[in-house]
Amino acid sequence: MANFFVTYDLNGSHPTHQDMDDHIKGICPVHGRVLETVWYVQYQGSSVQLRDRLRTIMGSEDLLLVIEASDAAWTRLLVDSESLINAWRNAA
């Protein structure tokens, strides 16, 4: 599994943020919201494959960025830092 950061900007009435959050959780069993619309996820596939799966519920006016990451550093996050560290190590 690879480590990814996913961020999105929803500009239409659908999907809602809750819809998008539930969609991310359904695709990526290991996940954590690190900022309001930024998620850390593990995914068994490429960034293109993850992007394509995530955007299936998004409108053409919505924005999405998927980044595969091999290293990270942070200060404070919405997710428990220890759980992120453990998930990161397990993906390597």
pLDDT tens profile 6-25: 999 999 889 999 999 999 99
Q: How do the domains of the chain map onto residue ranges?
A: 2-91
Provide the pLDDT for residue 91.
Answer: 66
In CATH, the number for domain 2-91 is: 3.30.70.240
Which of 3, 70, 1, 2 minimizes the C-alpha distance to 34?
3
Specify the pLDDT at position 82.
76
| Confidence at residue 28, expressed as pLDDT on a 0 to 100 scale | 93
What pLDDT shows up at residue 92?
58
Summarised one tens digit per residue, pLDDT across range 33-89 is 888 899 999 999 999 999 999 999 999 999 999 999 887 777 777 776 777 777 777
